[in-house]
Homo-oligomer: A and B are copies of this chain.
């Protein structure tokens, strides 16, 4: 087995297909060489050796021989000698795994320098300053990177300290103000430091330098940081990293030299023009050190016209070859262009869409590739305003990025105040420890919601995402004082009325007003999405509770409603009163009187939703939350309610206390309400069917689907189904028309999944409620998980938040069981999913594979789900059309 892959002069032993062995960087260096693109000669040591080295602690003799041979070839290719005192061969040594991975050893430059060869470099470049500066940097880098000389207790390491001392002694501020002799003196000082830190002399032998650096690269595969990174990003631990050894070229040898980075297209807008920066007479390091500001790439045309033309041609060649936008590093040494790296360029969502569509128009890629190339998760950027990345910010803290977008407003601490100021036209940010159902009107009125408690699927997060409203949740450094109307964070206090900027895409909480950038959906976006729609198998519905949400979701491409939560309609003022009357009624008669008040309101809502979803199915879930969510708990509100209802305060408090639950998530909710109070199910069914009949009379194509929540046993479902069907018959009789409708259930309890074959006997459809299913399968309350999930992620116990991305090992197995057993009873059972995971790309892939009919998600995630569904179809070779 060959371990070392040489490349030089248009011929490489590797190619782009060998990234498993050569790493991304090495494979592309080989590929470019083969393409005839000027790349400095060099060789790549295969990643296969990495684990072998880590096991045995030494490089096999055969490999050492191969490296020796490669160095010989490199000497021949460059005409230089390794350690030569006149024409020294100097190399860079870099790690390069298949997946780009921080935490590993980065770069050692100028390897090959020693007391003899530094003189050669000085005379050859006619620049002793440059030569000794390179040498002292190499000693430092070798000490730091290869031997781990580090800072101690916050003090800079001894190399840096020595440099600073010398500058102080010489009375200069900048490194470059030191004289060549100063630098030469420094090399000696550095070698002493090296010896005292490592216990051995600095290796004069370039060969020893090289072996040391290669071993250090291999060793860095198993640093704690690298292991952690792989665990989090699910990169296998047994891949290893390759090592790239490349002959040095210098961009800092004069005015006909330079270095730069370019993108083959604009990574921000996607525009097809070269985009980047360069610097005359400089090395990459100088840019990083901030010594000089780089210039826009266009200016290179005037400064280095020949190299610029060559760069343009090379970029075209690379794009044409890789069929994708590239991110390229180059150096010009004495007028000659060298490519040091090329890779697929990172880009904004906007750019990704434009590049994909334009490349398809250019005939470079096909539609499938175009669709595959735009990340679904990234689309979020296109649908929400973002914080201007160029604006300076005063970051207070970071919470969970619970609902994307950014917003600016003044701080308020309660829902009523938010409503009052919001209705007065002010931009407010609602800040609370956590939100409850009561806060809904204030959340609607606010620009953004910020909570100090709760996770990605806390009430605040779920409701905000449903509205497409910015939300940062669980910002646990914040202590909210709702009495004093302020919050404190890291010693700073923010009072009601102060300006705040909240970034729900990143979780940032920023003091003051920061400019925002709005994005608009382009024609390219529409084009790409239409291609995606043609490819996907999964239908995409939305979770929407109001006609306005339904209409908006339809604009985003929703093909029906997968979840309409009827309870949200009850929180509005004018309705909550009747709802409370119902809850507090002493008997069925009283409940029916209150329900009769709610009936016309609920019917009106459904009618609006049916109109908005003309031609599409609308799944309406029966009342789900525990009744106490509708009652006030605050003493003042209780007093008010007691007055309104002429119910003595003590009786009211008794009812509130009686309804209080230890674990409301596992309490009297879902179909359990409809079973104890069938009149609620009756009223809701009547509202659905009356609205459906009226819609039909208006000419609307209406497809109601009534969904029974929290079913654990088929008997629960069939008991509720009976009430729904009997009510439907009554209404159809009264209206003189019939509407086709379905009755089905949420599958959101483990027992429902396990007994899905029984449940399917009474269900015409299943909708997987993966939010609650995740809570019950893990035994983890999403409202309370904030207390321990962070330490899970910190300790690497959890690969991802199961409330964001479906836990395929656990919850996913129950989903698969539900699908398989449900369809074993009813082959054509319609099955969808309406949990938060419906808008998560990796989960959408899972749902595609599991054979679901549709996913349903919040309106703003509909485009993401559409694209993710297309990706799933492409990945599994099941593209439609």
Contacts and interface: CB of A to CB of B under 8 A. Distances in A.
Contacts of A792: 675
B719 A797 contact: yes
A474 interface: no
A665 B662 CA distance: 8
Contacts of A664: 662-663, 784
Contact of A666 (B665, B750, B798): B665
A781 to B, nearest CB: 4
Contacts of A777: 712, 749-751, 754, 776
A668 B784 contact: yes
A97 B797 CA distance: 59
Contact of A811 (B751, B775, B780): B751
A713 interface: yes
A664 B750 CA distance: 19
Interface in A708-763: 710, 712-713, 715-716, 719, 748-751, 754-755, 758
Contact of A663 (B712, B713, B784, B797): B784
A643 interface: no
Contacts of A784: 661-664, 666-668
A775 to B, nearest CB: 6
A739 to B, nearest CB: 29
Given A792-B675, A795-B675, A797-B715, A813 B778 contact: no
Interface string A663-691: 11111100010011000000000000000
A388 B711 CA distance: 44
Interface string A789-800: 001100111100
A712 B780 contact: yes
Contacts of A662: 664-665, 781, 783-784
Contact of A750 (B676, B716, B796, B810): B810
A814 interface: yes
A807 interface: yes
Nearest to A807: B751
A459 to B, nearest CB: 9
Given A713-B797, A715-B798, A750 B675 contact: no
A661 B719 contact: no
A55 interface: no
B779 A772 contact: yes
A663 B798 contact: no
A457 to B, nearest CB: 12
A389 B563 CA distance: 57
Given A661-B781, A716-B797, A754 B813 contact: yes
A809 interface: yes
A303 interface: no
A787 interface: yes
A783 B663 contact: yes
A719 B231 CA distance: 15
A601 to B, nearest CB: 26
A368 B672 CA distance: 45
A715 B794 CA distance: 13
Contacts of A780: 666, 712
B791 A675 contact: yes
Given A750-B776, A797-B675, A667 B781 contact: yes
Nearest to A809: B755
B772 A712 contact: no
Contacts of A710: 779
Contacts of A754: 777, 809-810, 813-814
Contact of A779 (B675, B749, B758, B778): B749
Contacts of A715: 796-798
A749 B778 contact: yes
A787 B658 CA distance: 9
Given A713-B797, A751-B810, A795-B675, A775 B719 contact: no
Which residue, of A710, A716, A778, A796, has the highest number of chain B Cβ atoms within 10 A? Answer: A778
A140 B784 CA distance: 67
Interface in A272-316: none
A779 B666 contact: yes
Contacts of A772: 779
A454 to B, nearest CB: 9
A783 B663 CA distance: 8
A772 B779 CA distance: 9
A667 B783 CA distance: 8
Contacts of A814: 750, 754
Contacts of A779: 665-666, 710, 712, 748-751, 772, 776
A781 B664 CA distance: 8
Nearest to A797: B715
Contacts of A755: 809-810
A807 to B, nearest CB: 7
A676 B476 CA distance: 16
Contacts of A781: 661-663, 665-667
Contacts of A807: 751
A711 B754 CA distance: 21
A811 to B, nearest CB: 7
A257 to B, nearest CB: 52
A551 B74 CA distance: 81
A777 B776 CA distance: 7
A178 to B, nearest CB: 47
24 contacts: A661-B787, A662-B784, A663-B663, A663-B781, A665-B779, A665-B781, A666-B775, A668-B784, A675-B791, A675-B792, A713-B797, A715-B798, A719-B797, A749-B779, A750-B750, A750-B810, A751-B810, A754-B813, A754-B814, A755-B809, A755-B810, A758-B809, A776-B776, A776-B777
Interface of A: 661-668, 672, 675-676, 710, 712-713, 715-716, 719, 748-751, 754-755, 758, 772, 775-781, 783-785, 787-788, 791-792, 795-798, 807, 809-811, 813-814
A-B pairs with the 10 shortest C-beta distances? A666-B781, A663-B781, A667-B784, A751-B810, A662-B783, A749-B779, A750-B750, A663-B665, A715-B797, A668-B787
Given A662-B781, A663-B663, 12 more contacts: A661-B783, A662-B664, A662-B665, A663-B781, A666-B784, A675-B791, A676-B791, A710-B779, A715-B796, A750-B776, A750-B814, A751-B810
